[in-house]
């Protein structure tokens, strides 16, 4: 019963519309500008890096809180499920007709708690890749591929490798349109 409450709570927390609220405070409907994605990268492109960083932190907190509660209440399996639920809530919020963000920041927050050292390595890697390529989605996809490797290298339990692969795939699937735009050369630049 407690597991179900935590997982549902994490999903509900994941639905918190950080980007929409930050953009609305600036008089902008973020779903109708840029890529239309309610996420940190679209906020940064259209409203500046400070607001983008704020949205990244708020979205990251959604994943971190769910994982943290899972760790305190039980252990890592519940923490992974809560992290995945928060990402699902962000990507597929029932409150917005299942049309949400891409899940990168929320997943980042989850892994900041699950594997802090991996997070501390991959955040600067994301920044460097995005600055060099000027493409947030490409940086995100590369970092997503690196997460399971980082989990393995950090010596976590063996079951955490497929669990982290599953979460990475969940987020990567939200980038299908970005991959198509990158292939056609029409992906929005940072």
> What is the DSSP track for 80-99?
HHHHHHHHHHHHS-GGGTT-
Closest CA to 82 of 166, 13, 143, 18: 13
Highest mean pLDDT: which range of 5-14, 134-143, 169-178: 5-14
DSSP letter assigned to residue 39: S
The residue extents of the domains of the chain are 2-184
Question: pLDDT tens-digit profile of 79-100?
Answer: 999 999 999 999 999 999 999 9
- Which pTM value belongs to this model? 0.93
Question: pLDDT tens-digit profile of 5-61?
Answer: 999 999 999 999 999 999 999 999 999 998 899 999 999 999 999 999 999 999 999
Backbone angles phi, psi at 116, to 5 degrees: -55, -40
pLDDT over threshold 80, residue 181: yes
How many angstroms separate the most distant Cα atoms in the chain?
Answer: 48
* Residue 189 pLDDT level (bands cut at 50, 70, 90): confident
Contact 56, 62 (CB under 8 A): no
């Amino acid at each position: 019963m407690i597991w179900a409450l935590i997982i549902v709570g994490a999903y509900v927390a994941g639905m918190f519309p950080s980007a929409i609220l930050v953009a609305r405070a600036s008089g902008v409907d973020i779903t109708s500008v840029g890529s239309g994605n309610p996420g940190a990268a679209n906020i940064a492109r259209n409203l500046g890096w400070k607001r983008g960083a704020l949205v990244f932190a708020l979205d990251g907190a959604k994943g971190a809180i769910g994982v943290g509660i899972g760790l305190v209440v039980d252990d890592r399996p519940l923490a992974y499920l809560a992290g995945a639920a928060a990402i699902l809530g962000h990507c597929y919020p029932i409150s917005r007709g299942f049309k949400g963000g891409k899940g990168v920041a929320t997943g980042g927050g989850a892994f900041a708690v699950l594997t802090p050292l991996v997070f501390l390595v991959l955040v600067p890697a994301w920044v460097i890749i995005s600055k060099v390529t000027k493409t947030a989605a490409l940086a995100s996809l590369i970092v997503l591929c690196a997460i399971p490797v980082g989990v393995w290298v950090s010596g976590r339990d063996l079951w955490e490798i497929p669990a982290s692969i599953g979460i990475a795939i969940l987020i990567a699937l939200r980038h299908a349109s970005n991959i198509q735009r990158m292939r056609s050369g029409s992906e929005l630049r940072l």
